[in-house]
Amino acid sequence: MSNVSKILMLLAALSLSLLFFFPMWKIYLEAPQYPEGLEMHIWVNKLGGNTEYTLQNFNILNHYIGMEKIKADSFAELKYMPYIVYFLIGSGIIIAFLNSRKLVLTWLIAVIIGGTAGLIDFYMWLVKFGTNLDPMAPIKVPGMTYIPPFLGSKQLLNFKALSLPDIGGLSIGIAILLAAIAVYIEFFYRKKTRSATDKLQTA
Amino acid sequence: MDPRSTFKKLLPAAAFVAALAVMPGLQSCSKTDNKAAGGSSSSALSSDAASAVYVAPGKHDEYYSFLSGGFSGQVAVYGLPSGRLLKVIPVFSQNPENGYGYNENTKPMLNTSFGFVPWDDLHHPKLSRANETTDGRWLFVNGNNTPRIARIDLKTFETVEIVEIPNSAGNHCSPYPTNNNEYVVAGTRFSVPVTAEGKLQDISLKEYKDKFRGTISFLKVDKDHGDMNLDFQIMVPGFDYDLANGGKGPSSDWIFFTSYNTEKAGTLKEVGASQNDKDYLLCVNWKLAAKYAAEGKAREIPANYAHNKMNHETNQATSTMKKTVRILLPEECPDMLYLVPVPKSPHGVDVDPSGENIVISGKLASVIPVHSFSKMQTAIKNKDYIGDINGIPVLKYESVLRAEVKEPGLGPLHTEFDGKGNAYSSMFVSSEVVKWSLKDFKVKDRIPVYYSIGHLLIPGGDTKDPSSKYLLAMNKITKDRYLPTGPELAQAGQLIDISGEKMKMLLDFPLIGEPHYAQAIAAEKIAPNSAKMYKLDANKNQYATRKEGDTKVVKNGNRIDVYMTAIRSHLTPDNIEGIEVGNEVYFHVTNLEQDWDVPHGFAVMGAQNAELLIMPGATNTFKWVPTKTGVFPFYCTDFCSALHQEMQGYARVSAKGSNVPIAFSTGEKRKAPSQP
C-alpha cells in the first residue's frame, strides 16, 4: 500500500473522532417569538442544544401538539453508537499501518453501512416523533403531522424548521471520501500504473 | 466676629428681589435670541429632531437612563434618545405589579426600625463607579422620608439591599459615591435632636438651635459584591444638608455638601432659613475621616437600624437589626471638616471633570459661584479663616472663589458638564437650561424648558468622562404640554442636543412620579450582563420544588404549605382540598421554565395581597388566609402561552374543624375519548 493511501486511511479513521467534539445533526427552529432561535443538537452519544435548556424548551413547545418528550434515555442508540465509532476509529488506525488494501475496502464498506444505518434510524425517529401524537393533545390540526425535515427546511405551524448535518455528521462523509480515495488508488490507479510498469519491464 | 452677621450686611435679602425684577428683561432678550437659533419652541423644531431621537422598531437605545420616581418610591428606566420607558424598578414602595413588598420573599426589604414602611420618597440615583467612572454594576438610591439607602443590581434590575440610616431625618444629600465607590455617603436634611450617645430626644421644639444636629453617614461598599455596611457617621451642626458630590482627580479625597438653614430656624423655614445671605458648603476630607475612624477615634454608640438584603440564590430577603454605630465628633478630628460660605440656600454642588472647579447652584442666588479646590487647599494651609462653627473652621468666601457666573438666570439648582469644557445649569425659576464656559465663566447659550426644571443630566456628566451629546432636563410642571389628564399631571423629561454651539430641543416625554435626579450610562456597559433567567439548578430557596413529581401540600397545625410548580401551561397541583377558614396558606410557587421571558403569575380570589410574578427558575411565596368557605380559583396572571387561559386551578376551603383531609392533584390520567 502506498504511503499516500496509508495517510488517507489514517486521516479517515481520525476524522471520525470529530463525532465526539461536534454534533452530527442540527435542527434549527425559528418562530416569531424566538428571535434568538432554538437549536437542537444530535450527537453520537447525547442530545443537546444551543443552550443547556433547549431540550426542555423543545419539549414544552411540543407538548401542545402531543409529541412525546424527547429525552436521551429514550434512545438506546446514544449508548451503543459511541462503541461502534470507537471500533471504527481503532480498526481504521490499525488498518492504516497494515499492508492490506482489502481491509481498507472492508473498512470503507463498514463505515458506509454504519452511516447509512444511522441516517435511516434518524429518519425513522423523526417520523415516529412527528406522527405518534397524544390524542389528548391540546392542539389538534386534522391531518397534520409534525415530521421535522430530514434535510432542508419545512414550515411546522408557527415554526420554520431547518435540518442540516453538522461537523460530526460531515466527518462520516469525510471518512468515507478519504477511504474511498485510498481504495481508488490501491485498486484502480496503482493497478493501472503497476501494469504499465510491468509492460515497460517486459518490453 | 460672627461670619453670618457679616454676610447679612454684605448682601441683604432685598438684593434677590431686585434680581427678580431685573431678570425678566434679560429673559425676554435671550428668548428672542433662541428663536433665531431655532431651539426655543416646538414650532421651531427642525425636522431632524425627529430622526435624532428615532430608534427604529427592534433597534436599541444608545443609553440607559435611571430616573428617580420621587414620591412613587421607584426608579424608572428610560432608553435615550428615544425616551421609551423600559422598566419601573420598585425600591421603597410595594409594587402590586410583581408582588414586590407583598410576597413573603421581599417583605423583609421594607422593614425598618419603625416597622414595615412600604413607601418612600426616592430622590437621587447614583451609578456605582470603578476607575473613576461609571461601571454599570449597581445603582444606589436614597429614601428621603424614612432615611434609607438602597442598592439595585443592574444584572437583574432588582433591589437587592436596603440600609436604614440611624440618627438622621430627611435623608436628602444621599447617596453620593466617592470617586472610586469606596463609600456611599448620606446626610441629614431635617436635623433632629440626636445626642452624641445616639439618643433621639423628646424635647421642646424651641430647643432647635441648641439641641438639633445632623449626621453624615459613610457606607462602605464591597468592591466585588457591592454589599453596603454603615462604617461610621460624623456628627455635624444642625443645618439642613441638601445635596452632595464627591471630588475627582486632585479633589478625590473630598466630598462636598451644600447646607441651608444655617440660621437654625425651627419653624417657617421658608422665611427663617432664608435670612443669611450666605449659607455653607461643608467640605469633608473623607479619606482622613476614614483614617480617624480606623484609628479608633470613632466612638461606638447604641443605635437601632435595619439592614435588609436579598439573596439571589434563595430569592429570599432577610432583615437584620443592627444595634450600634460608630460616630466621629468634629471637635475631636482636626482638619476633617471645613465650611465655605456660598450664596444662600444652595442646592446642587457639582465638581467639574477636572476636579478643580466646584460649582454651587444657589436657588435664591443671583450668581453661580465657582469655587476652586486648589485655592481652598491654599486657604486651609494659610489658615485663612473668618471664624468657626462647633469647632469647624469657616474659610473666607473670596479666598476660595475662582469666579462668579454673572446673570445666569433665576433659581440655579444643579449643574452638570460636557466633555468640552462647558457647564450646564438648570434654572428652576426662569425655566431654562443655561450653558456656560468653564474657561471664561460666561454664559454661552440658553434654552427654555417646560416648565420649572429641577435637576438635569448628561450621561457621565458627574464623572471625569462626560458625554457631549445629550442633556436631559427634568421638569416639575407640565400644565399644557400634553393631553390633559385631570388635575394630576405627569412631570416631564426634555432631551436636548448639546453636541453643537447652540442647544437644540429634541424630545419631550412624560415621566412617572417626580424625577429628582437621574443617571445615564452607555448601554453596552449594562446590556451584555443582563440576566435572562435564574438557573433552576442553582435555586436554593428552602421551598423550591424542582420537578412536578416533588409537589406536595403539607399541613402543620394552622399552617399549610403548598409546594407548587408552574410551567407552560399548568400549575401543579391545581386541585387542592383540606384548607379551612383561617388557615395560613403559603403557596411556594417555583417557575420551572428555563426560557427567556417566560414568567408565570399567581393570584387567588379574595386574597388580601397582590399577585406573584415568578421569574423562570425562581421560587416566590404567597400568603393567603381564607376568610370564608367555598371554592377559590387561582390562576396564572401573566399571559405565558397559547393555553395561558387554561392555566388555573381550584382550592376548596371548608369550615373550621370540618376535617376535610388534605388532597391535591393535577390532571388525573384519563382515557382518550374514543374516536367516532
CATH number (domain holding residue B250): 2.130.10.10
Q: Find, among A24, A39, A111, A38, the residue nearest to A75 by Cα.
A: A24
Domain that holds residue A75: 3-202
A57 and B595 within 8 Å at the Cβ level: the answer is yes
User: What domain count does chain A have?
Assistant: 1
CB pairs under 8 A between A and B: 25
Nearest-CA residue of chain A relative to B533? A53
Q: Quick one: pLDDT at residue B46?
A: 60
CATH number (domain holding residue A140): 1.20.140
Q: What percent of chain A has pLDDT over 90?
A: 73
B613 and B499 co-located in one domain? no
Q: Which residues of A touch B646 (CB under 8 A)?
A: 138
Asked if residue B51 belongs to a domain, the reply is no
A66 CA: distance to closest CA in chain B (Å): 12
* Position A78 pLDDT exceeds 50: yes
Q: Find, among A177, A173, A174, A152, the residue nearest to A163 by Cα.
A: A152
Query: Distance between CA B375 and CA B372 in Å, rounded?
Result: 5
Amino acid (1-letter code) at residue A126:
L
Between vectors from CA B621 to CA B618 and to CA B622, what angle results, nearest 5°?
Answer: 135
Q: Find, among B411, B4, B592, the residue nearest to A56 by Cα.
A: B592
Asked if residue B30 belongs to a domain, the reply is yes
B595 and A139 within 8 Å at the Cβ level: the answer is no
B597 CA: distance to closest CA in chain A (Å): 10
B520 and B551 co-located in one domain? no
Q: Which residues of A touch B594 (CB under 8 A)?
A: 52-53, 56-57
B93 and B165 co-located in one domain? yes
Region of residue B441 (left: phi > 0; alpha: psi -120 to 50; beta: else): left
Query: Distance between CA B144 and CA B121 in Å, rounded?
Result: 5
**Assigned C-alpha cell, B642:** 397559547
pLDDT digits (tens, 9 = 90+) for B364-387: 888 999 999 999 999 999 999 999
Q: Quick one: pLDDT at residue B263?
A: 87
Asked if residue B671 belongs to a domain, the reply is no
User: What domain count does chain B have?
Assistant: 2
Asked if residue B50 belongs to a domain, the reply is no
Q: Which residues of A touch B640 (CB under 8 A)?
A: none
Which residues lie below 8 Å from residue B649, measured CB to CB, with a gap of 6+? B571, B573, B574, B575, B576, B633, B634, B635, B666
The length of chain B in residues reads: 676
Cα atoms in the 13 Å half-sphere on the side-chain side of B90: 16
Mean of the pLDDT values across residues B107-117? 97
The length of chain A in residues reads: 203
Out of B529, B553, B578, pick the residue that ends a domain: B529
A80 CA: distance to closest CA in chain B (Å): 29
Out of A56, A135, A138, closest to residue B672 by CB: A135
Please say whether the beta carbons of B626 and B542 come within 8 A.
no
B516 and B540 co-located in one domain? no
Please say whether the beta carbons of B589 and B619 come within 8 A.
yes
pLDDT digits (tens, 9 = 90+) for B265-309: 888 888 877 888 889 999 999 999 999 999 999 999 999 999 999
Q: Which residues of B touch A29 (CB under 8 A)?
A: none
B523 and B554 co-located in one domain? no
B419 and B562 co-located in one domain? no
* Position B533 pLDDT exceeds 70: yes
Q: Find, among A28, A137, A69, the residue nearest to B569 by Cα.
A: A137
Chain B touched by A138 (CB under 8 Å): yes
B594 and A36 within 8 Å at the Cβ level: the answer is no
B454 and B572 co-located in one domain? no
Judged by CB atoms within 8 Å, which residues 96-125 of A form the interface with B?
none
Asked if residue B54 belongs to a domain, the reply is no
Residue among A29, A38, A39, A57 with most chain B CBs within 10 A, to mutate: A57
CATH number (domain holding residue B631): 2.60.40.420
Q: Quick one: pLDDT at residue A188?
A: 86
Which of A26-30, A82-86, B13-17, B42-46 is least confident? B13-17
B509 and B549 co-located in one domain? no
B187 and B146 co-located in one domain? yes
Cross-strand bridge partners of residue B587: B562, B622
A39 CA: distance to closest CA in chain B (Å): 13
B670 and A136 within 8 Å at the Cβ level: the answer is yes
Phi then psi dihedrals of residue B106, to 5 deg: -110, -10
Kindly report the number of other CB atoms within 10 A of residue B540's CB atom.
Answer: 12
B19 and B83 co-located in one domain? yes
pLDDT digits (tens, 9 = 90+) for B303-322: 999 999 999 899 999 999 99
Domain that holds residue B563: 536-665
B419 and B270 co-located in one domain? yes
Asked if residue B312 belongs to a domain, the reply is yes
Chain B touched by A152 (CB under 8 Å): no
Phi then psi dihedrals of residue B268, to 5 deg: 40, 60
Q: Find, among B650, B520, B519, the residue nearest to B577 by Cα.
A: B650
Place of cell 439548578: B537
Q: Quick one: pLDDT at residue B22?
A: 43
Query: Distance between CA B613 and CA B616 in Å, rounded?
Result: 10
The angle that helices A101-131 and A167-184 make with each other, rounded to 10 degrees, is 150
Out of A53, A64, A136, closest to residue B594 by CB: A53
Asked if residue B53 belongs to a domain, the reply is no
Out of A56, A136, A138, closest to residue B672 by CB: A136
Asked if residue B48 belongs to a domain, the reply is no
Q: Quick one: pLDDT at residue A198?
A: 59
Query: Distance between CA B250 and CA B179 in Å, rounded?
Result: 11
Query: Distance between CA B153 and CA B279 in Å, rounded?
Result: 37
B367 and B472 co-located in one domain? yes
pLDDT digits (tens, 9 = 90+) for B537-548: 999 999 999 999
A53 and B672 within 8 Å at the Cβ level: the answer is no
